[in-house]
Amino acid sequence: MVTVPSPGGGDALPADPSVPGAMNLRDVGGLRAGSTSTRHGVLYRSGNLARLDAGGTRALAELGLRRIIDLRADDEVAREPSRIDGLDLVTQRVPLFLGSVESFFRDDLTLDEMYRRLVDDSSEGVVAVVRGILADQPVLVHCTVGKDRTGVTIALTLAAAGVDTEAVVGDYARTEGLLPPRRNRKIVELLRSQHPEAVHLEDLATRSPAPVMRALLEDVGHRYGSAEEYLRAHGLADDEIVELRRVLLTHA
């Protein structure tokens, strides 16, 4: 099996699953969590599934997924429905942003500001995602690109499970290198035509800088004590935290 280095140490990661048409799809197994690491084949993350062909749908089925958690808003799902017909799994909808994705470009937010809003305004949704992960595995969490909504939610989930901060940050930062350059050029050109004065447009559309996620986790730690306490403050129970660690971490 081809492997790649694990972000932040930990076990070597298997090569990202090959699912034609799925952007930014990967297994979050192999991330360092103290003396242990995250399990392979349990939690996956990706961008949308609207461009799967028949081979991509078959490849997705081979992952054995039991649940897909879609973080997109209704208009995004209607515009680009997932091509997962025939797969025997649960689809869970958890729209995370309050307001439209368009508003973030219109308001020219920084990534830091957008992530702070997500943490503050969508806490119930983040907890719902964690509970979905606990309900069925293997599970795939995705949004449109797999960068922001998925990135923040997966980061909080991993941090709450005890994954080392630098491993969480490294997993988030991988996204930027997995987005196709052609896609980036096209989306930036389109958005620039709509928001010619926007300063933060390229960051919002294409980038996942490690310092941004590191700062978000530090902010959550400052305000709540930890990602674990953030989830507790918004309704996740102690036994669910214990189960999250059991589900996600290896037990040497």
Domain with residue 109: its CATH number is 3.90.190.10
pLDDT number for residue 2: 37
User: For residues 165 and 214, is the Cβ–Cβ distance under 8 A?
Assistant: yes
Residues 6+ apart with CB under 8 A from 172: 151, 154, 155, 208, 210, 213
Quote the number of domains for the chain: 1
Q: Tokens in use for 51? A: 């461009």
User: For residues 241 and 36, is the Cβ–Cβ distance under 8 A?
Assistant: no
d(CA 89, CA 65): 7
Q: Tokens in use for 130? A: 């964690």
pLDDT number for residue 3: 42
Candidates 19, 38, 44; CA nearest to 140 is 44
Ranges in the chain, pLDDT < 70: 1-15, 98-100, 252
Q: Which domain holds residue 174?
A: 3-248
pLDDT number for residue 15: 58
pLDDT number for residue 104: 79
The overall longest dimension of the chain from CA atoms, in Å, is 54
Bond from prior residue into 181 cis (ω within 30 degrees of 0): no
pLDDT number for residue 102: 72
d(CA 124, CA 132): 12
pLDDT number for residue 118: 95
d(CA 118, CA 125): 9
User: Whole-number mean pLDDT of the chain?
Assistant: 91
pLDDT number for residue 114: 93
d(CA 123, CA 69): 16
Tokens 């499970």 found at: 161
Indicate the SS3 state at residue 26.
strand
Indicate the SS3 state at residue 16.
coil
